[in-house]
Chains A and B, each alone.
Chain A
């Protein structure tokens, strides 16, 4: 094993299709027009010395090391800024060039410490490499002069010297080692798009500064790591590298946080993870990362991780550690007992959107083939189930239509109910890059998310609608498109059902759907909405990106269909730069849906009632599958309260914290006789569990994740599972204990079974993934290398279907008792319920959830920033601290749900999407008032959680 080596071509690739040929050091090279001489050289295997150039950012031409000579031209131009042209004859190594380079290096080194042996970058330092490459043997200038290296000279403090900035939890900035190549500044601007770094001063006084000469942690820095990645020296270095040393081998794997699915190199020293480095060939992230994927992996070795299986009779007992065998036998006998006593349908399972496709497939197989029912569901129930339903109805496929590269070809972007800079940061960086190049942006969100206005990006229109009025606003947009004749008739006639279009067009054209009519209920000014509609319909390639602000509503599915209608009506489907793009919340939420996690669907979104599909599985698995859909998560909980549902196997989901109406979830779990939680940590759900099976992290197993663009990415095992078994092995052993004859020896065999049974995965093998890096389903005979963009020549379902989208106000209404609307969201540094990120240093950015409230509403209630406030809804109440901000409109309050103590879901109600039961998280009518501290429920809950987390061996003395 060795490090995965990536070639640095020095400057970005040119997109030109015109080719030019030139000769470099006697080698004929043909490259696209616009390619730099530096990159052309590297393509031919000739590496020109360089320091300020790297292929993640544009050429800069400052280091004067990459100079070349070109026959017939004067001087020594920089190869990074000089484009290749037909017929050039270039020399990269002449005696003149050698002298210049050596002289330049001498100057660099005269102001750089000579502590190479004890330097963290030793073995991974481009400055060291270049000193070697140019043959530096001596520094004639000495080290006594003006410098940035030594804190003191002759006992006198050196004004130029700056101390190391260690404020960021993950990396350090040591100005003494900086050569001011500006790579970090350019990476922050061009790759990440935050513009948190600059060069302050000029000449010899130039320094890299974060913010306005602030520490990194106080500056605008979002800790994405792009600067650390770009730094050629030890100036910006991961603290983990300083602590551990250089890695010696690496493997390419996939991040286990959000649905962007970034590819990383896990760089290892033995079985110890040294650092995660974004992989340039990763097709989702193209070499970029965010603070979570890049740095927040500390949870994988956190002391809270449970490594031994545990059992208890009652949830009030302390846990008792047992062997794996004992745990498997116990679960098997309990589930069999429950099924014997209460019937076959009294048990079920929940698959995880955090686990691999293979693991998810096994859990649903265990439920369908082992339990003999269809009581399987997944956390997508509470996030993107309306996406699956809505897009299946309109287009024929339950998934987004594009790849992330598509955003580079977009002219008008609509972001609805999503906050990409926090929730999907790497996609947001790619989007911002496109926006800086001139694409237009329309944001539809109740809250002024960062994208509305952030350095160098400004939305053309921000439709700050009242929560719960998505359908009204989208239908009004369609009204403008249709009534002003902005629809794409040719596209619709060719691709869609014209009669259905006409029916829909007459529906949206009616006056009650005009922006003027909906303004009163949505709060969106009619003129602004009209302008936004015109821009989207006429501004070129229009792409819609949306998140949970669309789906988590009583009309979630309707909103998804309204989005699809709008895209079809404007002809924005089936090519680069357009499309309907759900931003998936979790790493494998697309995959868990694909793998048949829903009670009514077998893998590949085929209905359980379909005889021919069932037959495939019946024959292969040697069982007779039930032909009726099983219970959804809320139904399971209802049935538990009713006493008919008694046992559940929950893999990697914390339903108590993430599902709505916490008290109801708690009551459901408390009514069951065997709750099996399979997770990394004793999560909130485990407070009600009878069996705990320790889980493994993404670093500890092989498998695949499928991201928001349908991309199947490999997850590769880089360390042995601390708990002794990967999650797929645990599920398999459980199945064996229940008498099933499963004998998978590697996840690739599970993928083979998926491919065998599921047409859209027919061509997927681990060999193909190793060869291609990743593929996007459908991947089969028709598309052997996968499908980056869907519905190119026609919709998957045949003709695109327009569906009427009647706005129905949610039953969750404001009134005198509950006058405010609460909506929820995420923050950059934390992920979902926070089980992972709360156990990393990311807590320095977000140590608690806050309630955002408009100054007007706060003043009425006498609330100041930092005050404890009580939030009360029809379902319950909780307390947290307030943050006064005009990001939210008057009448709207907002919070995140990353911390269990906040208990935000105590107040959310059990209203849900009409089609899929996806909970209405995004709208809860609440009242907010001053409070002295935690609510009674929070106090009781904390006490119960504390008691239920006792482990007997450790707590025996108590």
Chain B
């Protein structure tokens, strides 16, 4: 336990040092940590606060404001389905239900094989191609049941 904690701390300090001289360094540091660890380890937040000479509460407030920062690791893939108005009106609800059923998980959950995490998102700016989704950062337009099943099969590989 001790060594794991120390290792995270050491890596976190490395990330913090890279960004701390930027103007407004907190978001770049949180991004950096998420990139390094796949999530932002909670034990790294006090280290960030200490390094930037701000309070733990302030770091916590910023960290929890952004849904994209994770406090635990995600699956190997992250599938986001748009839940905003345009996509809902184009059958997004049914696709969401299908995705949940096919993966056997609910929103924010990860499949037991750690393959994929399912997340809602509110507007990808692809309303013209609704319903829309995003897989590992790549946007997908005109999603339908067939495409969704392909995606599910692909991420399960």
Most buried by B among A212, A213, A219, A453: A212
Return the contact of B57 from the options A201, A210, A458 (Cβ within 8 A). Answer: A210
A213 vs B54: C-alpha distance when bound (angstroms): 16
Instruction: Contact check, B56 vs A220: say whether CB atoms are below 8 A apart.
Output: yes
- Taking CB atoms and an 8 Å cut-off, the chain B residues in 8-61 that contact chain A are 42, 45-46, 49, 53-61
Q: Nearest-CB distance from A165 to chain B (Å)?
A: 14
Which residues from chain B contact A196 at a C-beta distance below 8 Å? 55, 57
Which residues from chain B contact A455 at a C-beta distance below 8 Å? 49, 53-55, 58
0 or 1 for each of B56-96: is its CB under 8 Å from A? (1 = yes):
11111100110100000000000000000000000000000
- Taking CB atoms and an 8 Å cut-off, the chain A residues in 210-255 that contact chain B are 210-213, 219-220
Instruction: Contact check, A200 vs B60: say whether CB atoms are below 8 A apart.
Output: yes
A268 at the A/B interface (Cβ < 8 Å)? no
Instruction: Contact check, A195 vs B58: say whether CB atoms are below 8 A apart.
Output: yes
A194 at the A/B interface (Cβ < 8 Å)? yes
Most buried by A among B46, B49, B64: B64
A722 at the A/B interface (Cβ < 8 Å)? no
A-B contact pairs, 26 of them (CB 8 A): A194-B55, A196-B55, A196-B57, A197-B57, A198-B60, A198-B61, A199-B65, A200-B61, A200-B65, A201-B65, A202-B65, A209-B57, A211-B55, A211-B57, A212-B42, A212-B46, A212-B57, A212-B59, A213-B60, A213-B64, A220-B55, A220-B56, A454-B53, A455-B49, A455-B54, A456-B54
Which residues from chain A contact B60 at a C-beta distance below 8 Å? 198, 200, 209, 211-213
A201 vs B64: C-alpha distance when bound (angstroms): 5
Which residues from chain B contact A453 at a C-beta distance below 8 Å? 53
Which residues from chain A contact B67 at a C-beta distance below 8 Å? 202
Which chain B residue shows the least CB distance to A221? Answer: B57
Which residues from chain B contact A210 at a C-beta distance below 8 Å? 57
Q: Nearest-CB distance from A224 to chain B (Å)?
A: 14
Which chain B residue shows the least CB distance to A207? Answer: B64
Which residues from chain A contact B54 at a C-beta distance below 8 Å? 195, 455-456
Q: Nearest-CB distance from B49 to chain A (Å)?
A: 8
Instruction: Contact check, A198 vs B53: say whether CB atoms are below 8 A apart.
Output: no
Instruction: Contact check, A212 vs B53: say whether CB atoms are below 8 A apart.
Output: no
Which residues from chain B contact A454 at a C-beta distance below 8 Å? 53
Which residues from chain A contact B58 at a C-beta distance below 8 Å? 195, 198, 455
Give the 4 A-B CB pairs with smallest separation, nearest first.
A198-B61, A195-B55, A212-B60, A198-B57
Which residues from chain B contact A195 at a C-beta distance below 8 Å? 54-55, 57-58
Return the contact of B56 from the options A201, A219, A456 (Cβ within 8 A). Answer: A219
Which residues from chain A contact B55 at a C-beta distance below 8 Å? 194-196, 198, 211, 220, 455
Which residues from chain A contact B49 at a C-beta distance below 8 Å? 455
Most buried by B among A198, A210, A211, A454: A198
Give how many A residues have a beta carbon under 8 Å from the other chain's beta carbons. Answer: 22
Q: Nearest-CB distance from B152 to chain A (Å)?
A: 28
A454 vs B60: C-alpha distance when bound (angstroms): 17
- How many residue pairs link A and B with beta carbons under 8 A? The number is 58
Q: 7 additional contacts, CB 8 Å, given A197-B57, A210-B57, A220-B57?
A: A198-B55, A198-B60, A211-B57, A212-B45, A213-B64, A219-B57, A455-B58
Which chain A residue shows the least CB distance to B50? Answer: A453
Q: Nearest-CB distance from B55 to chain A (Å)?
A: 4
A439 vs B65: C-alpha distance when bound (angstroms): 31
A220 vs B57: C-alpha distance when bound (angstroms): 8
Q: Nearest-CB distance from B125 to chain A (Å)?
A: 19
A209 vs B59: C-alpha distance when bound (angstroms): 12
Instruction: Contact check, A211 vs B56: say whether CB atoms are below 8 A apart.
Output: yes
Which residues from chain B contact A198 at a C-beta distance below 8 Å? 55, 57-58, 60-61
Which chain B residue shows the least CB distance to A195? Answer: B55
Instruction: Contact check, A199 vs B61: say whether CB atoms are below 8 A apart.
Output: yes
A219 vs B60: C-alpha distance when bound (angstroms): 12
Q: Nearest-CB distance from B148 to chain A (Å)?
A: 28
Q: Nearest-CB distance from B35 to chain A (Å)?
A: 21
Which chain A residue shows the least CB distance to B54? Answer: A455
A209 vs B64: C-alpha distance when bound (angstroms): 11
Q: Nearest-CB distance from B41 to chain A (Å)?
A: 13
A195 vs B55: C-alpha distance when bound (angstroms): 6
Which residues from chain B contact A219 at a C-beta distance below 8 Å? 56-57
Instruction: Contact check, B53 vs A458: say whether CB atoms are below 8 A apart.
Output: yes
A195 vs B60: C-alpha distance when bound (angstroms): 11
Most buried by A among B49, B54, B58: B58
A212 vs B61: C-alpha distance when bound (angstroms): 8
Which chain B residue shows the least CB distance to A201? Answer: B64
Which residues from chain B contact A220 at a C-beta distance below 8 Å? 55-57
A27 vs B34: C-alpha distance when bound (angstroms): 57
Which residues from chain B contact A213 at a C-beta distance below 8 Å? 60, 64
Which chain B residue shows the least CB distance to A455? Answer: B55
Q: Nearest-CB distance from B26 to chain A (Å)?
A: 13
Which chain B residue shows the least CB distance to A196? Answer: B57
Which residues from chain B contact A458 at a C-beta distance below 8 Å? 53
A202 vs B55: C-alpha distance when bound (angstroms): 19
Contact A456/B53 with A200-B64, A201-B65, A202-B65 known, Cβ cut-off 8 Å: yes
A194 vs B57: C-alpha distance when bound (angstroms): 10
A195 vs B58: C-alpha distance when bound (angstroms): 7
Which residues from chain B contact A456 at a C-beta distance below 8 Å? 53-54
A210 vs B61: C-alpha distance when bound (angstroms): 10
Instruction: Contact check, A212 vs B65: say whether CB atoms are below 8 A apart.
Output: no
- Taking CB atoms and an 8 Å cut-off, the chain A residues in 433-480 that contact chain B are 453-458
Most buried by A among B49, B60, B67: B60
A196 vs B56: C-alpha distance when bound (angstroms): 7
- Taking CB atoms and an 8 Å cut-off, the chain A residues in 164-213 that contact chain B are 194-202, 209-213
A455 vs B61: C-alpha distance when bound (angstroms): 15
A201 vs B59: C-alpha distance when bound (angstroms): 12
Which residues from chain B contact A457 at a C-beta distance below 8 Å? 53
Q: Nearest-CB distance from B136 to chain A (Å)?
A: 24
A199 vs B45: C-alpha distance when bound (angstroms): 16
Which residues from chain B contact A209 at a C-beta distance below 8 Å? 57, 60-61, 64
Q: Nearest-CB distance from B60 to chain A (Å)?
A: 4
Q: Nearest-CB distance from A444 to chain B (Å)?
A: 21
Which chain A residue shows the least CB distance to B61? Answer: A198
Which chain B residue shows the least CB distance to A200? Answer: B64
Which residues from chain A contact B65 at a C-beta distance below 8 Å? 199-202
Which residues from chain A contact B56 at a C-beta distance below 8 Å? 211-212, 219-220
Which chain A residue shows the least CB distance to B66? Answer: A202
A340 vs B58: C-alpha distance when bound (angstroms): 70
A456 vs B42: C-alpha distance when bound (angstroms): 22
A458 vs B61: C-alpha distance when bound (angstroms): 22
A474 vs B12: C-alpha distance when bound (angstroms): 41
Q: Nearest-CB distance from B84 to chain A (Å)?
A: 14
Which chain A residue shows the least CB distance to B64? Answer: A200
Which residues from chain B contact A211 at a C-beta distance below 8 Å? 55-57, 60
Q: Nearest-CB distance from A764 to chain B (Å)?
A: 43
Which chain B residue shows the least CB distance to A202? Answer: B65
Which chain A residue shows the least CB distance to B49? Answer: A455
Most buried by A among B42, B54, B57: B57
A176 vs B11: C-alpha distance when bound (angstroms): 39
Which chain B residue shows the least CB distance to A457? Answer: B53
Most buried by B among A194, A197, A455: A455
A457 vs B53: C-alpha distance when bound (angstroms): 8
A197 vs B61: C-alpha distance when bound (angstroms): 9
Q: Nearest-CB distance from A166 to chain B (Å)?
A: 19
Which chain B residue shows the least CB distance to A197? Answer: B57
Q: Nearest-CB distance from A759 to chain B (Å)?
A: 49
Q: Nearest-CB distance from A886 to chain B (Å)?
A: 14
Which chain B residue shows the least CB distance to A453? Answer: B53
A258 vs B104: C-alpha distance when bound (angstroms): 63
Which chain A residue shows the least CB distance to B42? Answer: A212
A454 vs B58: C-alpha distance when bound (angstroms): 13
A198 vs B49: C-alpha distance when bound (angstroms): 13
Q: Nearest-CB distance from A421 to chain B (Å)?
A: 14
0 or 1 for each of A644-664: is its CB under 8 Å from B? (1 = yes):
000000000000000000000
Which residues from chain A contact B57 at a C-beta distance below 8 Å? 195-198, 209-212, 219-220
